[in-house]
Homo-oligomer: A and B are copies of this chain.
Amino acid sequence: MGPKSSTSNASEAQRVDFRTNPQEYKHWKLSVDGKVARLALDVEESATLFSGYELKLNSYDLGVDIELYDALQRIRFEHPGVGAVVLTSDKPRVFCAGANIRMLSQSTHAHKVNFCKFTNETRNGIEDAAEFSGIRFLAAINGACAGGGYELALACEHIMLIDDGSSTVSLPELPLLAVLPGTGGLTRLVDKRKVRHDRADYFCTTSEGIRGKRATDWDLVDEVIPRSKFDETVLSRATEFAAVTDRPLDGKGVELTPLNRNIEKDRITDDTLSIDFQRDLSLATITIFAPNTPPPLDVAGIEEEGPRFWPLAMTRDLEDAILELRVNEEDIGTWVFKTEGDPDLVRDAEKPLLDNADHWLAREILLFMKRTFKRIDVSSRSIITLVEPGSCFVGTLLELVFAADRSFMLEGAFENSNIAAAEIVLTDMNFGPLVMPNGLTRLEHRFLKDQSMVDKTKIQIGTKLSASDAEELGLVTFSPDDIDWEDEVRIAIEERASFSPDALTGMEASLRFAGPETLETKIFGRLSAWQNWIFQRPNAVGEGGALRVYGSGQKATYNKQRV
């Protein structure tokens, strides 16, 4: 069964699992030698995520990328000494041929889009590590490098191409498949590497690719190195890059032990959250639980708790929930976020992170939280956050209110309930560490019209804010009282389920990212939108479309109309 028939029902077998570990890798080899890690692609052709294709020439499917992402996380958390990562291939004469074309051509539109989103996030994560974690990435291109292979290289800080008389870098998607390079390639070419647009145009329409002097002259790669000197030059560069890291060779890594997930038909539970489905409303309610024991006070305590440390455990659960829901629950269009537990323990759990933000481990956890909340921003799901009595929307978790397309906070208590009215609490977590893809904090984005509101809210750090306080400070969308609550929330959810999912996706992607643009917003906002469009067009996916006929010997036929 191919991804075409990928399931959107929790009970079926073809569920994609994002959990893996190095012992289970089939496609990547991770080795660490002092400050340098080597991550080598050696794809096992037959170990595909779905049936119907083979992963020839180091091409990849989502399964290969899930391993890559896992390996990057392990380098970050389990190998604190690593300061440089060499991305290379263990196959002779081929680095990576990019996303598998047969897999793409037999995939549903939704799977293609989901696949691209995840691979994009992984590559953005590589750049995040280079910028903030002290881990620099080198692409050691030791063979043919096409499409997604070159896009992976583009995510690295330094690109080294072997000069063997034949290996090229190329983005042949447009001429061969009538689609765009889907993993940030176009954007990184002109916006990151600042390749001249006319040269980029030539490059992207030349399926055989570019090598040698032109590759460096045009800034497509940083170095072209003869085969005889390739390995030694790569090692020397990597050593040089790793030397300047501030990551500690003697640091105590945190092992990312398996998540403790339980999947039932209409309910998923983890240690720190639960997901409940109401399929008739296309709804998933994600409830995040506060810590239930006092968190550690310092870094030693964080190291001691390791993967059980609440901010890390919660972020891992939340990330896996997001990925789960995106890929395995495509019909669930609305995510409602709730929280439950002691607000003080959430605040206490954040504190040692904020107090030790320069320590490599605290930094890694904060960066991981940032990246995970970004995944929410770019998820094509409606986000509604409900602040009710018994909740703990403090700092980190309060970001779920700001990330929401709409939030509701109950004014007062529920009738006949002895649970006190909800309060929300701002912390330093809301004013810096957890920026959005556009580089703004969610509060800066919220108050684009009047940035003085950011300062006004900052004064309130630590204060318990009632619904009317929150409304006055502009922190929630609506604050109905008990009489109106049920109706207002119900209508919002039912209404959402009644709208076109596609129009919602386009609208949310447009409204969620006002203000400045970055490589990331350009990739998710512009490039992905164009790619989604092209993925729908008969010239790519229709009867005679290029993606459909590729490899069949048949020539693609195009409707010539320009749109």
Residues of A that sit less than 8 Å from B by CB: 8, 109-110, 113-114, 173-175, 177-180, 186-187, 189-191, 193-202, 204-205, 219, 282, 330-333, 380-381, 404-407, 445-449, 474, 477, 495-497, 499-512, 514-517, 522, 525-527, 529-534, 536-537, 539-540, 546, 556, 558-563
Contacts and interface: CB of A to CB of B under 8 A. Distances in A.
List of 10 A-B pairs having minimum Cβ-Cβ separation, nearest first: A178-B500, A529-B529, A506-B530, A194-B449, A190-B514, A517-B517, A186-B510, A533-B533, A500-B539, A198-B477
Given A178-B502, A503-B534, A331 B560 contact: yes
15 contacts: A178-B500, A190-B514, A198-B477, A330-B561, A380-B563, A500-B534, A501-B539, A502-B534, A502-B539, A504-B562, A509-B526, A516-B517, A525-B526, A530-B532, A533-B536
A204 B500 CA distance: 13
Contacts of A191: 514-515
B540 A508 contact: no
A190 B562 contact: no
A200 B511 contact: yes
A507 B330 contact: no
A540 B449 contact: no
A533 B529 contact: yes
Copies in the assembly, this chain: 2
A332 B562 contact: yes
A109 B332 CA distance: 29
B186 A507 contact: yes
A445 to B, nearest CB: 7
Contacts of A531: 506
B500 A556 contact: yes
Contacts of A178: 499-500, 502-503
B503 A197 contact: no
A332 B532 CA distance: 24
Contacts of A204: 507, 511
Most buried by B among A173, A502, A558: A502
Nearest to A474: B196
Contact of A530 (B113, B447, B495, B529): B529
B198 A505 contact: no
Nearest to A527: B510
Contacts of A504: 174, 562
A503 B194 contact: no
Most buried by B among A186, A474, A530, A537: A530
A532 to B, nearest CB: 5
Nearest to A199: B477
Contacts of A522: 517
B509 A561 contact: no
Contacts of A189: 511
Most buried by B among A508, A510, A559: A510
Contacts of A533: 502, 506, 529, 532-533, 536
A477 B203 CA distance: 12
A546 B333 CA distance: 18
Nearest to A191: B514
B186 A501 contact: no
B380 A198 contact: no
B511 A201 contact: yes
A558 B198 contact: no
Given A406-B202, A515-B191, A559-B501, A509 B530 contact: yes
B201 A508 contact: yes
A540 B500 contact: yes
Most buried by B among A114, A448, A500, A537: A500
Most buried by B among A186, A503, A512: A503
Nearest to A175: B499
A220 B514 CA distance: 16
B563 A502 contact: yes
Contacts of A539: 500-503
A18 B509 CA distance: 34
Contacts of A506: 180, 530-531, 533-534
A194 to B, nearest CB: 4
Contacts of A510: 180, 186-187, 190, 526-527, 530
Most buried by B among A198, A501, A534: A198
Contacts of A332: 562
Contacts of A175: 495, 499
Contacts of A173: 503
A193 B531 CA distance: 29
Nearest to A173: B503
A114 B404 CA distance: 34
Nearest to A108: B561
Nearest to A385: B198
B540 A537 contact: no
Contacts of A174: 499-500, 503-504, 507
Given A201-B406, A536-B537, A180 B503 contact: yes
A393 B526 CA distance: 33
